[in-house]
Every structure is written in C-alpha cells, then in structure tokens.
Structure 1
C-alpha cells in the first residue's frame, strides 16, 4: 500500500496596498470571478457619480470581499455557513451561522496590506 502525500495547500496571496488600483489588480489576478462586479460597482458608485467621498465605503466592502475570495478554504467556509443558514428551519441555528459568517467578514476587513 502506497502512502500518498497530501495535496499541497495553495498559498493565500497577501493583501495588496490599500487603494482601488492595487485592489483591482489583486482581484484580477487572484479572484477574477469578482472583477465584473467590482468594476460595475466602481462605475456607478464612484466614476459615474463623480464622487470620491464614496471610495472609503467602496474599499471597505471590496477589501473584505477580496480577503475572503483569495482564500478558497475561507470562501467555501463562509459560503457554507450562509447556505446552511438559508436552509435552516431553526431560527437560533440560522442566527448562529450568520453571526459566524458576519464575524469572519468583519475580521478580514481589519487585514493590513501584506497580510
């Protein structure tokens, strides 16, 4: 019987510099499934609005989205929590699952560039 080495865990890319251009480049490279939504949101929330005051809120949202999406295991875990909550018939269980997903989303927003 031959032992098989475990599949290597792909490295989670570091967080980019905290600016829209660097975040967009990181999304394009490591989480391209988010890119169309990122660009669309940027267009209506910042570019078409001619309002740079919306950039901090935009960055907060997409910083967290990317932080989760760049890590396939974390992304799958958060998706699983939210799916289980949506399917649960027990309000207490659903609340607990959504609180865990929410806590993860809040934690990743505190990540710094390079982490």
Structure 2
C-alpha cells in the first residue's frame, strides 16, 4: 500500500498488516496497544510452547478480527454498543437481532485483507 493510499484511509485508520503473527503483533503494538497484553498472554498460553501448530489459524482469526475492530474506533464503538444493548434488552428477539448485527460487523472486520 502506498503512503498516499494509507493517508487517504477514512479517519486515519491504519491498514491491516501482513497476515502472520509477527506482523499482527507489531500492528497491535503500534495501533492498538490496549490489546497487546492479552495477545501476548494468549500466544504464550496456546501457541508459543505448542508442538502442534494446528491452533495457529484459530489464533490468527481471533486476533485478526480483534485488531481489525480496534484499529477503527468508530466500528469498535458500534459493535460494543450493539453488544451492550443486547445485554440490556428485555426482549429475546431484540437481543438476538442486536447480537446478529454485531456478529455481522465482526465477520466483516475479520474478512479484511492485508493493506486494507
């Protein structure tokens, strides 16, 4: 991604990194440091000493989505608002609809590609 296209991103949202744990950790450290301790703790607990790397794709999918949300404060606030409203909803149908909206936004964020 060129410097010009990065500068044109709405609201100064940083681009997604290359899709590997090292690049993702660097992006989290630079743009969403509030996630770094949990990222490192999860990495050390589930991946760092593992002899079976089968868990890496699930780890990457989770943290890719978390970073995609955290790098965009507006989107992150929208998802949090939907989830909070669902928790307080008095009607199960309303809560379900709110959670479905939040899940849709999370899925969309998780489909972000490197450089987007």
Relative to the length of structure 1, the TM-score reads 0.89
Larger radius of gyration: 1
For 2:42, the equivalent position in structure 1 comes to 41
For 1:4, the equivalent position in structure 2 comes to none
Please report how far the alpha carbon of residue 32 of structure 1 lies from its aligned counterpart in structure 2 after TM superposition.
0.5
Please report how far the alpha carbon of residue 107 of structure 1 lies from its aligned counterpart in structure 2 after TM superposition.
1.1
For 2:3, the equivalent position in structure 1 comes to none
Q: Distance in 2 between matches of 1:51 and 1:34?
A: 25
Map residues 52-63 of structure 1 onto 2, 5 A cutoff: 52-63=53-64
Map residues 77-92 of structure 1 onto 2, 5 A cutoff: 77-92=78-93
Map residues 96-111 of structure 1 onto 2, 5 A cutoff: 96-111=97-112
SS of the counterpart of 1:99? Answer: helix
For 1:27, the equivalent position in structure 2 comes to 28
For 1:6, the equivalent position in structure 2 comes to none
Which 4+ residue blocks in structure 1 deviate beyond 3 angstroms? none
- The total of aligned residue pairs comes to 107
- 2:80 paired with 1:73: no
Please report how far the alpha carbon of residue 28 of structure 1 lies from its aligned counterpart in structure 2 after TM superposition.
0.4
Relative to the length of structure 2, the TM-score reads 0.88
Please report how far the alpha carbon of residue 88 of structure 1 lies from its aligned counterpart in structure 2 after TM superposition.
0.7
RMSD: 1.0
Please report how far the alpha carbon of residue 110 of structure 1 lies from its aligned counterpart in structure 2 after TM superposition.
1.1
Please report how far the alpha carbon of residue 50 of structure 1 lies from its aligned counterpart in structure 2 after TM superposition.
3.1
